[in-house]
Structure 1
Amino acid sequence: MILAVRSLLFQAAFYGWSTLLALCSLLPLALGKQRPIVAIGKLWSRGIDRLLKTVAGIDCVIEGREHIPDGPALIAAKHQSLWDTAVVLALFDMPAIVMKQELHRVPIYGALTKAQEMIAVDRDGGARALKQMLGQAREAVKRGRHIVIFPQGTRTRPGETAPYQPGVAALYQNLKIPCVPAAVNSGFFWPKHGWKRPPGRIVLRFLPPIPPGLGRDAFMTELETRIETENAKLEADTRREFGLR
């Protein structure tokens, strides 16, 4: 009963907070002011962490920050929940997140992603879409931004596997910057489907970077091995510590 009440309260608080920040973004959107929009995104992200802590009893922990280079890097992370995309807004100055093009058409949210120059990808666009993605990514790197990609292209449940898409290899080989893998256990506490938020601890764990220069197949094998191995450990620890399935 307590879990249900806290989960419902979090849902209400989350949507209220998101609506408030969306309304606050309308003026800078209308004026074409990018930096205030970026600042609002960071505030939104930090507010979500605060709500998770105070309402749902969920701590949010970032591990392995020392593995993130000061300069541009390709951040390739496991994706289990909306939290994964929100947290990077506060972690990095102005991250360029690779996202599906359809999100650009979502009212207000789409305009915000465009204003922050996120990298939109037409997943059915073939070679033309790949070329466009690489062009946007190169421009972001020139400006010192971190590129964030979820290489499986979709959210997965804890213990679930999904193929790693070739876009991450294209970015790695063309940008010639380090790739930092990351594991996450957020799917236990913010599931892909469902509204319950059991108390516990969300962990985003950055791993040692993969230096540029590997061949495509070697890189993909190394990336998938590192992420999936670390995620399996993180998920096993989470199940054991919090009694989750």
Structure 2
Amino acid sequence: MSTVQAARTVVFYLLLATSACIWGTLSVLIGPFLPFAQRARFITQAWCRLAVWLCKWVAGIDYREQGAEHIPQQPCVILAKHQSTWETFFLSARVAPLTQVLKRELLYVPFFGWAMAMVKPIAIDRSNPKAALKQLARRGDECLRAGAWVLIFPEGTRVPVGQMGKFSRGGAALAAHAGLPVLPVAHNAGRFWPKQGWSKTPGCIDVIYGPPLYAAGADSRSIAELNQRAEAWIAEQMARIDPPASQPATLGEQSLAR
């Protein structure tokens, strides 16, 4: 990473951290007086839009979307590829109100965690998978009924570039029982915002939305089949935009952000 890009990355993190402290404080003070939908837009969507903006204009990481016409008018379950922190910001800024599955420990982070707790995330204990699945089913259904999108990373953790993790059925089960579709989302953010380290590589992230996928029923076989279709679609897109290092670079890597 060049000296200039290193400096840009440092400035990006300083501005992001400062904005999180300021916005987190405002959210704790103002949030309790807002209805849930407005609170989610104020606390999560507005700040995440700022984070995506800083990423573009300070760190030099832009994005382009394909298939945005597939995004449903009504909230549903979003099943997204997980490579970095960027997609958490981006998808939270893209639709609202949105709740997401996250590690319970994140709610203890000063400012950021306090604000996140006010938008009713599905905070799970990853050390207890069975309890986490039950909580996802119960809280996820409540959120969908309340008109909120539910963002789930079915791989469970950030997966390195060029790899696919095993998909959990939790998101597919949630959608099937609610009679709603899953919206599959593929992207290659990890090539510009790596899973490990603090470095950032300028470029253009490809974000692709697939057609909404419905389960044939709410039985275990239908849920497994829906999950397999979502995983297969994302894997197919990732093979195109996120090939292993030995293969040619993606279009996004060849297009530096302005």
Question: Equivalent residue for 2:113?
Answer: 110
**1:16 corresponds to which of 15, 18, 34:** 18
Structure 1 residues 137-188: Cα deviation after superposition (integer angstroms, max 9, x where no partner): 1221112221110000101121122211232232133222111110011111
CA 1:238–1:153 in structure 2 vs 1: closer, same or farther (change >3 Å)?
farther
| Partner Cα separation in structure 1 for residue 40 and residue 79 of structure 2 | 24
- Identify the residue that residue 43 of structure 1 maps to in structure 2: 46
Secondary structure of 2:123's counterpart equals strand
**Are the aligned partners of 2:98 and 2:149 in contact in 1 as well (CA < 8 Å)?**
yes
What are the residue-to-residue correspondences of 1:168-183 with 2, within 5 Å? Answer: 168-183=171-186
Contact persistence 2:137–2:170 (CA under 8 A):
no
Q: Which amino acid aligns with 1:178?
A: P
CA contact (8 A) 1:37 1:112 kept: no
Q: TM-score, normalized by length of structure 2?
A: 0.84
What is the TM-score normalised by the length of structure 1? 0.88
Superposition deviation, residue 129 in structure 1: 3.5
Alignment pair present for 1:144 and 2:147: yes
Q: Which of the numbers 164, 169, 173 marks the counterpart of 1:166?
A: 169
Given that 1:176 and 1:213 are in contact with CA atoms closer than 8 Å, whether structure 2 keeps it comes out as no
What is the correspondence of 1:194-233 to structure 2 with a 5 Å cutoff? 194-213=197-216, 215-233=222-240
With 114-123 and 102-111 compared, the bigger mean Cα shift is at 102-111
Deviations 1:88-134 (A, max 9, x none): 22211211212222223333333322211111223343544433321
Query: Which runs of 4 or more aligned residues in structure 1 lie more than 4 Å from their structure 2 counterparts after TM superposition?
Result: none
- Listed as ranges, the matches of 1:15-94 within 5 Å are 15-29=17-31, 31=32, 33=34, 34=36, 35-36=38-39, 38-94=41-97
* Partners of 1:185 and 1:238 within 8 A in 2: no
> Does structure 1 retain, via aligned residues, the 8 Å contact 2:140–2:150?
yes
SS at match of 2:185: strand
Could you tell me how far 1:230 is from its partner in structure 2? Answer: 0.5
Offset, 1:73:
1.2
* Structure 2 residue matching 1:168: 3-state secondary structure: helix
Q: Is the 8 A contact 1:38 1:116 kept in 2?
A: no
Matched, 1:95 2:98: yes
Any unmatched runs of 5+ in structure 1? none
| 1:234 positional shift | 1.3
Cα distance change on mapping 1:116 and 1:238 into 2, 3 Å: farther
For structure 2, the residue ranges without an aligned partner over 5 or more in a row are: none
What is the aligned-residue RMSD (CA, Å)?
2.3
Q: Percent identity?
A: 32
CA deviations over 1:70-102 (Å, ceiling 9, x no partner): 112111000111111112222112112122222
Number of residues paired by the alignment?
243
Alignment partners' CA distance in 2, 1:219 and 1:99 = 23
Q: Does 1:239 align with 2:242?
A: no
